[in-house]
Structures are given as C-alpha cells and as structure tokens.
Structure 1
Amino acid sequence: MTNTFNALESEYISYLKNFYGHNRVWAVGPIQPTGPVTSRGGNSSVSSAELTAWLATCPQKSVVYVCFGSQYTPSESQASAIATALELSGVRFIWPLGGLSTVIPEGFEERTKGKGLIIRGWAPQVEILRHPAVGSFLTHCGWNSVLEGVVAGVTLLTWPVQAEQFINVKLLVEAVGMALKAASGSEAVPEAEELAKTFAESVGMRAGSLTDEVREKAVEMQREAAVAVKEGGSSHKDILDFVNAISLFIRH
C-alpha cells in the first residue's frame, strides 16, 4: 500500500506489479488530513484568522509559498538568496521561518511589509496551499509536501535537499511536467536574479515558455487526485481491494 495515485505514478505502479508478479500493490492516495486543518501544530506568530484575512487581499494564484519542511533549515546564504529573489520579483509571498532558526537579511521584513508574510513558528501548510490566492510552492519535495501541493493544484518549484527528494523531482519535472526546477542540493545557493524570474513566472507576473503548460498540468493533476479518491476512483477501488485481500487472508 502506498500513498500515491494512479494518474500520478501509473508507470511505476505497473512496474512494481510486474516486478513482484502479482497485483497486490495498492495506490490509495493522496491521503489527506481529516478535520479542521487549522487545529494542528504549535505556536505561530500569525493566527489563522490573520493569515486568512491577508490572503483574502491577494488576487487568485498570485502568492508564492516558501517552505522546506520541519527537518531542513536553509543556511544564511540560501535564505539571503531566497529573500533577495522574492524582493526582486515583486511577488506576494508567505514564508514560514520555523521559529528563529532561519536568518533573513536585515530590513527584509520591513521592506516587503504588505507584499509578504513572514511566519515564525508553525504554519498551517495545508490551509495555505488550498487557498485560491496561492499559486506556487517552493518546496524541498518531501512526499507529504508534494501531495499537499498536488491536491491544492499549485505549481511546484523544486529544491530537493536530501534522500528521495531528488527522485521526486525527476517524477514531477520530467515525467509529469507539473513542476519547475528552482535549485538542487543542500549546499546550493541559486542566483537571486534567476530565482526571482522563476518566482515571477510561476504566478504569471512574467511570461515563461514552459510555465503556462506547467501550471495547466498542476491543475490537471489536482483534478485527477480528486477523482482518484472519490467512489469509483482508482484509489477508492484499491482501498476496497486491499480490504478484501486482508479479509480473505484472515479467513484462511
């Protein structure tokens, strides 16, 4: 059983079935949290109400969300490149810093006040990504973040830093075509001007040769994810098949 869905990884699901010589490979995702998405996590410098109110002032698909998960903190030089790129691009953005661990350039928060939202502490990522104002997501490409981005239909800007994240990027960029490369590696420090261009293109502030296709593919995958978990969808069928297989095993 795996947290994915057929439209996203059909080729690889088929490979596993052929490799093992049976059909007991179940893709049951995307598995999403139940209940209010604002009720999780810890303390935050920005309340859910403040966050929602700020996003309500932003045009649809205009905000870049920047987050590297809970296990990686960008270095000071990486954070400086991100900050400079955000400022140069002029995009609206949300950037959770994870407490005080990420060091941003002096004066950056003041210079981008109103244009961007810095969050210290926990950020309700699912709530943010699902808001209509959010258009792209600079992510480390951990699988949970990937699926949350897919379900939200946002363009993924990839910056893998460890483990399977590099493989996830190959899937998203080369196989599926719903993501743009931003940087790669835990030591990478992208050129601020190039990253600014990527930010602007990802939310339609600047024309890009591939960006429109990537944004369209992201929306297509969002639709496919929704269909997969509905009754009759591929993931719904796989869950039923899994339950039937377990029931048969227990009876025998």
Structure 2
Amino acid sequence: MSVCAMALSKSLWRAAPRLVGAGANEPLDVPNMNLPFDLTVGEVPWEIMVNGIGGPGNPFVEFMEEVGWADVNSWGVVVNSFEELELSHIPALESFYRDGARAWCLGPLFLCDQAQAQAPRDKSKGAEGLFERAVAPPGSVMYVSFGTQADVSSAQLDELAHGLEMSGVPFVWVVRSGSWSVPEGLEGRIEGRGLILRKWVDQRYMLGHRAVGGFLSHCGWNSVLESVSAGVPILAWPMMAEQPFNAKLIVEGLEAGLRIEAAGSRVADDGVVFKREAICRGVRELMGGAKGRRARDRAQALGRVAHRAVGDGGSSRDAMTRLISELREC
C-alpha cells in the first residue's frame, strides 16, 4: 500500500461514524493531508466504512483496533514506495505514530537488487509467441490482469472480452476465473492479435517487454509499482480495499494513467458491470489517444525516477542507510 493510501485510510477509519448518512457526492476534506485529487464520500471503499462503524462486539473490528494500537505505538513503518512518488504524504502518515516514529520509503523493493532486476526472467509461456507472431511494434500491446484476489463476475468478463475485441488493440489478458468460458467464436476472431492466458505469468517480464505499452489493472500496489517502474501507463479499474485510492493517485495525482469511465455501466446481481463500449474507449485512448500519450510520457519519467531512487545517492538507498544506522544505535 502507498503512503498516500495508508494515511488516507487511517484518517477515514476515524471519520467513518460521521460519514454515515452523508450523500455520495459530498466532498471530503481530509485534515492534515494535501491530496493531489478530489475525494467524495461515495469514493470511500465500503470496507473502511463498515469496519470503521462496526462498534464494540464485532470481532473483526476489535482485531483491527488491536492491530491499529500496535501500529501507532511502533517504532515506525517500512513502506514499499519511494519518496518522489508520495508527494507530501509522508508527514501526514507519520503524524499517526507516537514518539517521533518514522515512515521509511525503501522501494521499489524489487528493484533494490539491480543484478536480479536486470537479469532475464523466464518468459511467460505463450505470451512471447504473440509478440513474435505479430511482430508487435514497441508499445502496441495492452497487458490485462486483475491480480489474484479480485473476484470478477462472468458477466463482467464477457463485457471485457468484447471490449478488448472491439478496441482493435493487440492484447495479452491473464484470466484467473476457473468458471468463465470465452464467448463463442471470440478466440478465432482475435487470433494473432489477442491472447487469453489462464496460467501464471511473470508480470514483470510482461510489463518490461518492449511491445507492452499499457496495463489494464485493478491497481493493487505491487502492480502499480511494477508498472510505474517499467514506465508503462495504467488503465485503472480498481475493485476493492485501497485500490480506489491507488487509482486516484496514479490517474489524478501523478497523471500516469487513465480510468475506465463508469458512465453507461449497469447493475447486475453480482455488482456493477462496465459495458464493453466504455472498456473499448478506455483501451483506445490509453494506447493511441492524446491523453494516453501524455500518461505514457509521465509514466516513463516516473520509471526513471524509480530506478534512481534505489541507486547510489537515491532517496530509497539513502533511507535504507539511515534506517540501518538508527537500528544499530537502538
């Protein structure tokens, strides 16, 4: 989780009781945080609202309160992020801790071992075949993945499949669902342009491939960091927990991505379903529109900063040196 999302979640957890009954479009002013985006009550993840107002007797809420007490009374927190990405949010997070505890931004941690980060990784089986067959130009392929925890309905997966087909953009899509069936005839229509995988892939390999120019993502923090570090812009589709905050940071705060538009979405028995037309528009804009080009330029600039952060003299390397020094003095 980013520093921004951590500080924001802590603030809103405390504020949850007074938000009950507030209108979804009511703006939120979060004390002590200079957010680079606007926030409304309706954009607060339901987990924060429910857990924040659960009250005594709710075992999960009591457990979270115990964890929170241990957290704020700890010596500090290590964050898998880097200072340049977090804007002015580090002091806001540190304000929740006692006795001068610190927030140490040491990431992106997977880049800290530069030899490992630059070593060739196992290719994602099947994906490299698409790149080779299509002789995909640099930045022309959309990578699509929603991680391992989000549960996406079959109705939504159908809309996504048709939206990707309608876009005309080459894509590699990793599907976790074991119950969803590809719409009849679709695999034949996308042959040579689209690839649907149902197995584990090396996401860092995918994002680092020269052909990949965009990432349709749920905005889990590891995925955000991997995409930013590879200089790949994100088409944000947050689904749970702090992901809406991560999406707003990357899209509105850092301007390194775009977002799927909710207009025209419909409500089904298993949640809101984004329509294929909105998905198609988002993919086309990120991969070929003016807004997408600006997001790509910004993502590439952030990627260079991420690599500098873990190098000699970088912010994360210096923070690690200071942390080790203070630990030795304890």
TM-score category by the smaller chain? 0.7 to 0.9
Match of 2:130 in 1: 54
Which residue of structure 1 lines up, in the alignment, with residue 233 of structure 2? 155
1:193 equivalent in alignment to 2:274: no
Deviation at 1:53, TM superposition (A): 3.9
1:99-120 deviation digits (Å, cap 9, x = unpaired)? 6344331221121010011112
SS in 2 for 1:26: strand
Q: What residue ranges of structure 2 are gaps of 5+ in the alignment?
A: 1-77
User: In 2, Cα distance between the equivalents of 1:88 and 1:232?
Assistant: 47
Corresponding residue for residue 83 of structure 1? 161
Give the number of the structure whose alpha-carbon radius of gyration is greater.
Answer: 2
Q: Are the aligned partners of 2:213 and 2:287 in contact in 1 as well (CA < 8 Å)?
A: yes
In structure 1, the residue matched to 2:144 is 66
Residues 16 and 48 of structure 1: CA distance in aligned 2, closer, same or farther (over 3 Å)? closer
Q: Answer with 179-188 or 101-110: which moved more.
A: 179-188
User: Is residue 221 of structure 1 aligned with residue 305 of structure 2?
Assistant: no
- Give the counterpart of 1:8 among 73, 85, 91: 85
Question: 1:141 touches 1:165 (CA, 8 Å); kept in 2?
Answer: yes
Distance 1:146 1:167 in 2: 12
AA of the residue aligned to 2:87 = S
Identify which of structures 1 and 2 has the higher relative contact order when contacts are C-alpha pairs closer than 8 Å and 6+ apart. Answer: 1
User: Once structures 1 and 2 are overlaid, which stretch shifts more, 11-20 or 130-139?
Assistant: 11-20
Matched, 1:166 2:244: yes
SS state of the match for residue 48, structure 1?
coil
What is the percentage of aligned positions where both structures have the same residue? Answer: 38
Q: Deviations over 1:99-158 (max 9, x none)?
A: 634433122112101001111211111110110110111111111111111111111011
TM-score with structure 1 length normalisation? 0.87
The alpha-carbon distance between structure 1 residues 162 and 49, as it changes in their structure 2 partners (threshold 3 A), is closer
Q: Is the deviation greater in 191-200 or in 227-236?
A: 191-200
Whole-Å separation in 2 of the counterparts to 1:99 and 1:161:
15
Q: Deviations over 1:204-240 (max 9, x none)?
A: 2xx34x2222111111111110110111000000011
**Count of aligned residue pairs for this structure pair:** 239
What is aligned with 1:139?
217
Per-residue CA deviations over 1:57-86 (Å, capped at 9, x if unaligned) read 211001111101011232111111111111
| Selected match of 1:117 from 195, 198, 209 | 195
